[in-house]
Structures are given as structure tokens and as C-alpha cells.
Structure 1
Amino acid sequence: MQVEHLRNIAIIAHVDHGKTTLVDKLLRATDAFRSNQQIEERVLDSNDQERERGITILAKNCSIEYKGVKINVIDTPGHADFGGEVERVLKMADGALLLVDAFEGPMPQTRFVLRHAIDTGLRIMIVINKIDRPAADPERAYNDCLDLMADLGATDEQLEFAMEHVVYASAVNGYARRSPEDDNNDMFPLLDMIIDDMPAPEVDECAPLAMQCVTIDHSNFVGRIGIGRVFSGTLHEGDTILVQKNDGTTTTSKIKQLFTFDYLGRTECSEVGAGDIAAVVGVEGADIGDVYTDPEHPVELAPILIDPPTLSVVFEASTSPLVGRDGDTVGARQLKERLLAEADNNVTMRIAELEDKSGVEVSGRGILHLSVLMETMRREGFEFQVARPRVLFRTGEDGKRQEPIEQAVVECPDEYSGKVIEVFGNAGGTMTSMQTGVTVTHLEFRIPTRGIMGLKNRILNVTHGEGVFYHTFLEYGPYAGEIGGRNNGAMISMTTEKAVAYALGTLQERGQLFVEPGTECYEGMLVGERNKPGDMVVNIARTKNLGNQRSSTSDISVQLTPPRTFSLEEALEYIADDELVEITPKNVRLRKRLLSANERKKAAVRRGQ
């Protein structure tokens, strides 16, 4: 039977195409807030980093009440690094809104999330957003969406449904229209289409209980909270249930509390029926893929498989001479405890201590995925250092070594396309598509994940800041051989002192600086990049020799160009294998693993032997 008073929909799109803003407007249209309530924009992006970066990191649930129908809305991340969230939460939905920018059309990560929605068998409704943008072309974006669906293997039923169900919207202005020429100024056409045409959940209320846990929340008071959809039967507070793990083991647990989603919050209830989404408290060690079922008549569901991590980083306690100046927590034991606690909450990461106990290895889906954890920890007062991200290889069925391959897309002015192709060629990339427009060239490449690191800055440099660069994990492919790293050497401080303007004035002629006058530096810290290969040890505290002679130019001050600053992601991509990133609540510093110049020379001799 169908549960007509329920709809479960996911919103999927490329990063920054307007998913969270659309949910905002749907909540406002259905009077989710009091008339005098102060509401922030993008209310679902509650995490500080989500607001600062302007992206969704964690999949979130909310519900909307419209014409007596409860619509469970799942806001999914658009960035491929958080794809572990997308793959799982789509199992809770019966349909999906594919949101596409009317100007940009489908982008690489649109392909990523759409492929998962098609494989899950969801009905897909197309929403062409930002139709008010200058140079927007809604019809082209709509046709490109249908082409992409066909390319990804959508069934005839899915394609026919998408062709008949398209809405043109401007989420930021709060309207959705059946046609771009309409003059409607509210979101009700989209809501009407959802409740009229999106499939209601198909359930069997009389069958034994079956619920699969697809995401985990964590509370300091009650521990892990399993969230998922009830496929059949009914959950009751106080029930004893059988918990089937992904590895085949089973345990029994008692449901202590039961919640459903109500607008932006959760409401405690005594029972949750089939088709609805529930949050369950009381299952010890709740994990992704757990099936909650009837102990006497157990139901088996397909296990949830998550794409494996592709990059790993080793976290170590800081050994910097400046350790402890910015942060409160600097010990190796506290660092290990914090990371192992993260393993409880973040199931898309693999976290394990190294065999020699020197650090903790954290594996994730990409640089951004890993840097979000680092940023969270530095805000909690931790000081630590991390090594260069390492690609995770695997052995294929033929016994040969394989590595993660990415699909990269660059859009740039036509005159820079040759330079972009050259940059990708040097990084091990292969061009798969080139489309030349009136002013912009669209280039697509296959490139090993190793080659992606540090590529964004090079693309921005050769396109004079006018290039747009996206990439997403594609598959594991044959090992591509050696790929060249950073060409230029580093300027390395020889002393632990503050940088002086006079010394920096002479050094900036030799390359690009990373520090400004007054910056605390230490021996072994990277203070700049040379214009040539090979590292150079420099004195950043050298002052002008003062004599009794005065020149007519003595009062002219040193003119310094602004130093290059690194975000966490840029620093991780920049460093070489013998370098580290030191992360504190106030600073991101680059340093050599061996701080002493003599130690580095000895290590070089040993490597030569």
C-alpha cells in the first residue's frame, strides 16, 4: 500500500547551485517560522564551517507540512568529498529534485550525485534554478539534464518522468514556475508538483519491522542515534528489536526513545509507521547499514556499501619550537583520543593509530573532506602537524596496481585553453572532451588524484584568475607512473627570530614570500618559495649595517609585496614529502620535517647511499 500522507524527497545538485536556499524558501512558504522569528539565511547550514565556506558538508533532514501531506526533505552535500553522505541518505527517498543552475547547466558533481540517484531508482524532478541570472539559458540547462540522465543510464520511466516534471525557479527570490514566462511569485507550484506527482512510499504495514540505519547522529547524553527509514512494520518506543550488522552479526536492543522530524526539529513520539523517517535512541554501537527488525521474524535488507577513501593524512603531535603558544591542547595522547572519538561520529573516515605509535592516520575522500576535520580541531584549541596527503592505492583483479582517477573540468577564456592543457599534461592528465563556446572553452580531463594536488593554483595562474576548476572522483584505474611534484625550491629560515623588513626586502627578489615583518619564525620553517629549483637557507632577521656615513636614500623605506597566504587545503596541496603543515588555532605554518639544516644534509647523504 501507499502512504498518501507522506513524501520522501532528496535535493541533489552541484555545490553552490542553491539547494539549501531552496529548502529555506520551502520552509518559509509553509509557515515553518513564526512571523516575528529572526531567521538566518541558509538555515539548514547550521555548522560554522558550512556558513563560512558556503557549502553543505553534512546531509540533513527536515520536514514540511503542506495540504495535509508531510514532506520529508533531505538536503545532501554537493561536493564529491562528502559523497559518503549522499550515497547513504538517498536510500531514505522515493524521489529527488535535481537542481541545476540555469547559466552553468549540469556540472561534474551534478553527474556524481545524479548517478547515485538513478542507480537507487528514484523518480527525478528537474528544477532549473537561478533563471533570473544574466545570460541564463533555462532551455539549454533542461536539455543538458536530460542528456546527462540518458548518459548515466536512466530508465525510460525515469526519463519520461523528468521530461514531464520540470520547474523553473529563483530560490533566492522565492518563486517557482511551470514555465519561465509565468509571473508567479511563490513556491507553491513546486510544492503542488511534489505532492501531486512524486510517488508516495510503498510499504507493507502488516509485514515484520524493517528499518535501515543510513546516518548517525551523536549526543553527549544518549550516545549514538540511528537515523533511517522504516520500510515495513511499525516501530514502538520500548520495543525489543534485533540489530543485524553489515558483517552478519546480530544483537538485541531496546528502543529507549523514538523521534520523527518536524520542520527543523525532532519530535519525540511513541511510534513511527512504515514509510516515515525515524531517529532511534538505545542501540548500543549504532552503525551505518544496521538493520532494525523483528526478533521473531527477521527481515534482511541489502547492505549499504560506501565508496572507499582515496586519500590519507598522518596527524602528529606538534614538534615546533613555538608549540603551546596558540593552543591549549598539544599532547599526543589528547590528539589520539580526539581522532578516535571522531571515528565514532564520522563513519565516512577511516581512523587508525600507526603501528609505531608516532601518529594517527586519517583516510577520507579528498583534501576538503580532511581539512574540514583539521579546521574543526584547531577551533577546539588543538595544535598538531600533518604530513603531505598520500593517495591510497589498491590491487586490481588482474593483480596490477591501481590508483584513484578523477574527472576534472575547466572552463576558461579561449586564449588560455592551450596553457590549461599543458598544465594538465605535466600533471599526468588526459583530455577527454573540448567544447568551444563564443567566449568560454569547456575542457574535461581524466587525471590521477596525485596530479590534482596543487593544480588549482596553477590553473588560476595560467588563466589570470578567470578559470573555473572542478573535479570529482571517477574510478580506480591503472597506475599512471611517476608525476612531477613542485618545481621550485623553498626558502627556509636558519634562525628562530621575528622576520625583519630589511631582510625580506632582499629576499623577495629571489622569490615569493610567505611571511611579513614581525612574523614569528623558527629554524626549519618555510618563509618563501624560490624562483629556481633547490631549497635555500635564509636569514630572515638580517638588519642593515649602520655606519657613520649617511646617503640621500637612507630614509626610503623597504617596499614589500604582500606575502602569499595559504588556506588549509592550499597548504596541504603545496608541501613536499619532506615537509609538514603546522596547524594551530591562530596560524597555519609550513615547515621541514627535519628542522636543522645539518640533519637535512645527513638525511640527504643517507638517501644517496
Structure 2
Amino acid sequence: MDQAKIRNVAIIAHVDHGKTTLVDKLFEQSGMFSAHGGSTERLMDSMDIEQERGITITSKSGGFRYNDFYINIIDTPGHADFGGQVERVLKMACGAILVVDAQEGPMPQTFFVLKKALALDIPIIVAINKIDKPAARPEWVLDQVFDLFVKLEAPDDILDFPVVYVSAKEGYALRDPEDEARDMAPLLEMITEELPPPAGDAHGPFQLLISSLDYSPFLGRLAIGKITNGSVQINDAVVLSRRDGQLEPTRISKIYKFEKNEKIPVEQASCGDIIAVAGMDSVTVGETFTSKENPLPLEPIAIDPPTISMNFIPNDSPFAGQEGTYVTSRHIGDRLRKETLSDVALHVEDLTDRVGFKVSGRGELHLSILIETMRREGYELQVTRPQVIYHTDAAGKVTEPYEEVTIDVSEEFSGVVIDKLNQRKGKMVNMLKMDGGLTRIIFHIPTRGLLGYRSEFMTDTQGMGMMNYVFHEYGPYCGELKNRHNGAMVSMEKNCVSIAYALANLQERGTLFIGAGEKIYAGQIIGENSRSATLKVNPAKGKKLSNVRSSGADDAVVLTQPRRMTLEDCIAWINDDELVEITPENIRLRKMTMSK
């Protein structure tokens, strides 16, 4: 392919602003589905968890032909917890499409991804999406986007960004809001006209910076990146430049290019192509494949450090080993280290005081997705409460991570939200009136203050609020912070089955997490106490019967529907002396020290 006819484009945006749907429509416009008689919705969201949650978790590459051009599309996550994915894959892009909701405007993650794109000095097309919304206000959004570019000190040439108005759901793009809607051709034409081809010398020494990893059951690890110089063929002898500068010889055994969301084997590739190569199982993100005769390593990818850590330990509950396939610390350690090879924002260390691992990541969602993935693969483990990672500044003072939280909520709920965030040591920095009776509140709050708040926020706003956050900075330690004010109901009965009669009495003391007929062990948390103290209970206590009093003499027991906790709910709920037990079949809460 002629290098001048290649366009490598990253799609960046805040979560749920329509990136993946936009990619689907670009694929459709290229005609790639004509032979199949239709398209697949959210084609790039290939993981089961992505399909279920409707979010992009891992960045992916795809490609298609448009006229004489070949356009490589890089779909990126929109959630702040997966920002490490965005940082590394932007290295492959020669331009970016910034997708912004036509009603909401720029949100916290918009700021984050735009900042990363501007740091690489790549040109940007602004796509104002969802203009078919009844409450769309594209002119206001455009002003807000321009202000964001100015705030991030974008250079003059990038400040003069092209704009396209899009409805990805309906499948059309407009250069001007007054134009007649047709298809996605205006956006595709803008990509070929406004974004440059990849730079580099096709005849120079070979260079390929590894930005992502994949796995093939036949070939092992596949390294994905953009060729920034030279060309490569199958069986070429090259060297791999490690992060420490060490050079290791290897041979390229397979080369793939991306077409649609599939990898297509090819014999060779040249400067500007985004490819996947096989040849070395130990390759990791940030390393460089380069010429053996004239090795020129590229600068490794710098990634923002993690802010949250959790301990992953083997399951030692009375039910340990009954439901999982991989249960030992060796199994868990091997799986975690495998994950770090593809997720550069994840750090894993061995614990020194017990068997297990300290796993550090970008946020609760980042780590909970990893736990859920392991659970579905058959792993059984326990995790501790998330802890923030403290730093010490030059003056010797302890600092902790702070988040910028943006909340859109009805005016009637703004008071309780502000009060709760103030209790969690948050500081309000802005408050704006929005259309439709909404208020936008912006807080700077310690990361610790957000742990466990989301479910409380949804309750306070009757499920109608929107909360987004992004890492802000490391700031001064704000002192002790207590997020949970209720104690736990803990079973004191060993290996029993819960009985409706006992639960009916217990539900008056708090909120139950279990129903009748469930297996329970001593030390397992079965509910939340309405008071702050820990309450030891017997969920298996039955009614005493005699020849005077029969089982049918009383009214039938009526149980309130238990509060079923998701994995994220459990992680956010527990205290320092509690654990979440995760198996392929169940998620349980327990005390760290078991009752004897």
C-alpha cells in the first residue's frame, strides 16, 4: 500500500459518547459488509464483559478501504480506569477523532484523552455526535470544546480543528448542521483530507514500537504496533530492544494486517502499516522490534502510575476449592503476571507478610474487571479492600491521589450530593445550571472519598444522577476518612443453610444480602446492620416445635427481597478487616479472621 494513502486514526472520547457505534457505521460505509448481508452491532467490543456492560475495556484495531485509501481505526476505552490503554495506542495514530456528545459536551475523560493526544502533537477532528437528540445543542458544545483546547494550551494549528456533526445511531455525518443528511461519507472524506499519512522512511532501518498485545493459541503472543520506519517480511532476522536497552535477536515468523476486526496474514508490511507480528513470546508493551544490522530503539511508552491497590490472596474459607478450577497462589500469580504483559497500567508484587499478591491499578473498575475476567476463567480467590497509593513529596510530606468528579443531577438532589461529598473531604470547585433543570457540580476529592460512594449516590439521586471522574493530581493527605457507618451481620453458625424463619427476624435488624436456602459458614457476612457495631447472628435458627404448638399454627414467613451485591458493590462495601470471596459460581463477603 502506498504510504501516502494510509490513514491511522484513533477514536477518543468520554465513556458512552458513541465511539464504538461510530466505528460500526464507518465500517458499513466502506461497503465491507455487503457480501454478508448486514453488520454486527458494536463490532469492536469483542469481549463478553464489553458486550454485557456496553463499554469498551481494551483498545482494538480494525481497518477498511475507502476509495484509494486504507484507513486503520483504533478504538479506545472511554472510562478513566482504562486510560493506560489510550496512552499507549495513541502512539500508533497519525490523527484522532474526538467524539463529544451533542448534549453533554466535554466531560472529564474528554479532558484526559485530549490532553494525551495534544501531548503527541497529532491533528484532531472534532465529531459532535448524537445531534439527533431532542436536547442537542451543537453550537454550545463546539464553544465548550474550543475552550477545552485553549485550556490545554493547544498550538494554533491544532486550535483550527475541523468539525463534523454526526448521528452515529442514524448513520450520517454533516459538515454543516444545515446540510441534508445522507451517510458517513463527509467524515470519511474529512479523514482523508485533514489527517496526514504516517511519517517515516520506508527505506530506512526497521522500527516497530509495541503498543498492544494479543494471543494466538497456535503462535503464542502477538505484538501489535505501527511500523515507524523501514519494512519487514516473514522470516526476517530482527532484534528486540528491551526497556533496559538489552538487544535480543529473534525472527519474525508471522505478520498480520487488520481488516474489519480481523487479522489477515500477509507476507510483508512497510512504513505506516499497523500490524501484529509473531516471533517472541516474552515481548511486552513499550519494547521495539528493530533492524539487526542498524538497531534504532524507540523511546518506551510512558504510562501514568496506578492510584489504587488491592491484595489478591488464595481462598481459605470453609468452602475453598469446591467451585473453582484454579485455586492455588501459583495459579493466581501466573495469571496476574500474564495480565501485566498486556496491561501496562497494572502492577503486581508479591506480598511479604502472607501468601498473595499486591495488585495496583487505575481504579476500582480497572481491578474489578480483572477479577471478573479471572472468575469467568475458573479462578477462585479473595481480595481485600482497595487502598490508595500514597506518595511522599520533596518536602517529606505524605500526598494522596485526588479525583476531579463531575456530577449532573436534578436540582432537588444537589443539596444531599454536596453534603455527602463534603463529608468525604471533597472540595467543590464549580457549580453550573444546565438545561432541563439539571445542575452540574464539579468537586476535587481524595480517591479514598470515592470508594463505595457510587451506590450511595444512585440511592440519593433515585438512580437519575450521572457521575464521572478522572485523576486530577496528588495532593496533601486529608486525614482519616470513614466511608461506611454501618456494621455487618456475621454468621456464627458453622457450615449451615439459611432458614426463612431466622431471616425474618434478622431483616428487622438491617439489610440482608442472602435469601433462604443458601449455604453459609461461620464468619460469612450475610447482611448490613442498621447500627455501627458488628452483629453476630444465627441464620439457621429454626422454630422450636412441640406437641402443643404445630408448624402451621403461625402465619407464613414473609421475607423482604435481599440486596444482591455485584462484585463492584462488594469491593466498595467492605472494611479493612473484611474480604470478598470470589469463585466462578458465587461472590461472598466474609470477615478476615474466622470465628472458631
- Structure 1 stretches of 4+ moved >4 Å: 547-555
Query: Are residue 476 (structure 1) and residue 483 (structure 2) matched?
Result: no
Give how far 1:397 is off: 2.7
Match of 1:520 in 2: 519
**1:234-273 equivalences in 2 (<5 Å):** 234-273=231-270
Question: Matched residues in 1 for 2:430 and 2:142: separation?
Answer: 21
Give how far 1:210 is off: 2.3
Match of 2:52 in 1: 52
Question: Matched residues in 2 for 1:401 and 1:40: separation?
Answer: 50
Equivalent position to 2:331, from 320, 327, 334: 334
Question: Is the CA contact 1:3–1:203 (under 8 Å) kept in the aligned structure 2?
Answer: no
Query: Are residue 497 (structure 1) and residue 496 (structure 2) matched?
Result: yes
Q: Deviations over 1:99-134 (max 9, x none)?
A: 111111111111111110111111111111111122
Question: Matched residues in 2 for 1:284 and 1:526: separation?
Answer: 43
Equivalent position to 1:435, from 432, 435, 440: 432
**1:147-186 equivalences in 2 (<5 Å):** 147-160=147-160, 162=161, 165-186=162-183
Give how far 1:548 is off: 5.5
SS at match of 2:518: coil
Match of 2:141 in 1: 141
Give how far 1:295 is off: 3.1
Match of 2:369 in 1: 372
Question: Matched residues in 1 for 2:335 and 2:89: separation?
Answer: 26
Q: Deviations over 1:350-400 (max 9, x none)?
A: 123223451122211111111111111111222211111121122223322
Match of 1:543 in 2: 542
Give how far 1:219 is off: 2.4
Q: Alpha carbons of 1:249 and 1:333: their partners in 2 closer, same or farther (altered >3 Å)?
A: closer
Give how far 1:62 is off: 0.5
Question: Matched residues in 2 for 1:64 and 1:24: separation?
Answer: 11
Question: Matched residues in 2 for 1:49 and 1:552: separation?
Answer: 46
Give how far 1:549 is off: 5.7
Q: Which moved more, 1:75-84 or 1:290-299?
A: 290-299
Question: Is the CA contact 2:425–2:478 (under 8 Å) kept in the aligned structure 1?
Answer: yes
Q: Alpha carbons of 1:293 and 1:341: their partners in 2 closer, same or farther (altered >3 Å)?
A: closer
Give how far 1:291 is off: 2.1
Question: Matched residues in 2 for 1:215 and 1:458: separation?
Answer: 36
Match of 2:109 in 1: 109
**1:74-85 equivalences in 2 (<5 Å):** 74-85=74-85
Question: Matched residues in 1 for 2:123 and 2:341: separation?
Answer: 33
Question: Matched residues in 2 for 1:263 and 1:514: separation?
Answer: 45
Give how far 1:257 is off: 1.7
Match of 1:24 in 2: 24
Question: Matched residues in 1 for 2:253 and 2:36: separation?
Answer: 36
Question: Matched residues in 1 for 2:328 and 2:193: separation?
Answer: 58
Q: Alpha carbons of 1:231 and 1:36: their partners in 2 closer, same or farther (altered >3 Å)?
A: closer
Equivalent position to 2:423, from 426, 433, 440: 426
Q: Alpha carbons of 1:133 and 1:209: their partners in 2 closer, same or farther (altered >3 Å)?
A: same
Q: Deviations over 1:508-534 (max 9, x none)?
A: 111111111112221111111111111
SS at match of 1:378: helix
Q: CA RMSD in A?
A: 2.0
SS at match of 1:173: coil
Question: Is the CA contact 1:253–1:284 (under 8 Å) kept in the aligned structure 2?
Answer: no
Question: Is the CA contact 1:226–1:279 (under 8 Å) kept in the aligned structure 2?
Answer: yes
Q: Deviations over 1:177-212 (max 9, x none)?
A: 122232223111111111122112222223322221
Aligned amino acid, residue 57 of structure 1: I
Question: Matched residues in 1 for 2:81 and 2:518: separation?
Answer: 34
Give how far 1:300 is off: 4.3
Q: Deviations over 1:430-483 (max 9, x none)?
A: 111111235111011111111110011221222222211111112222222211
Aligned amino acid, residue 281 of structure 1: A
Match of 1:604 in 2: none
Question: Matched residues in 2 for 1:205 and 1:101: separation?
Answer: 39
Give how far 1:402 is off: 1.9
Q: Alpha carbons of 1:246 and 1:336: their partners in 2 closer, same or farther (altered >3 Å)?
A: closer
Q: Given the two structures, how large is their TM-score scaled by the length of structure 1?
A: 0.93
Question: Is the CA contact 1:12–1:76 (under 8 Å) kept in the aligned structure 2?
Answer: yes
Structure 2 unmatched ranges of 5 or more: none
Question: Matched residues in 2 for 1:25 and 1:485: separation?
Answer: 44
Aligned amino acid, residue 62 of structure 2: C
SS at match of 1:172: coil
SS at match of 2:519: coil
Aligned amino acid, residue 135 of structure 1: A
Question: Matched residues in 2 for 1:227 and 1:76: separation?
Answer: 15
SS at match of 2:497: coil
Q: Which moved more, 1:203-212 or 1:67-76?
A: 203-212
Identity of paired residues, percent? 46
Q: Alpha carbons of 1:315 and 1:140: their partners in 2 closer, same or farther (altered >3 Å)?
A: same
Question: Matched residues in 1 for 2:295 and 2:377: separation?
Answer: 43
Q: Alpha carbons of 1:553 and 1:151: their partners in 2 closer, same or farther (altered >3 Å)?
A: farther
Question: Is the CA contact 2:407–2:440 (under 8 Å) kept in the aligned structure 1?
Answer: yes
Question: Matched residues in 2 for 1:137 and 1:423: separation?
Answer: 31
Equivalent position to 1:226, from 223, 227, 230: 223
Q: Which moved more, 1:69-78 or 1:563-572?
A: 563-572
Q: Alpha carbons of 1:174 and 1:238: their partners in 2 closer, same or farther (altered >3 Å)?
A: same
Question: Matched residues in 1 for 2:59 and 2:36: separation?
Answer: 28
Q: Which moved more, 1:30-39 or 1:393-402?
A: 30-39
**1:257-336 equivalences in 2 (<5 Å):** 257-336=254-333
Question: Is the CA contact 2:289–2:297 (under 8 Å) kept in the aligned structure 1?
Answer: no
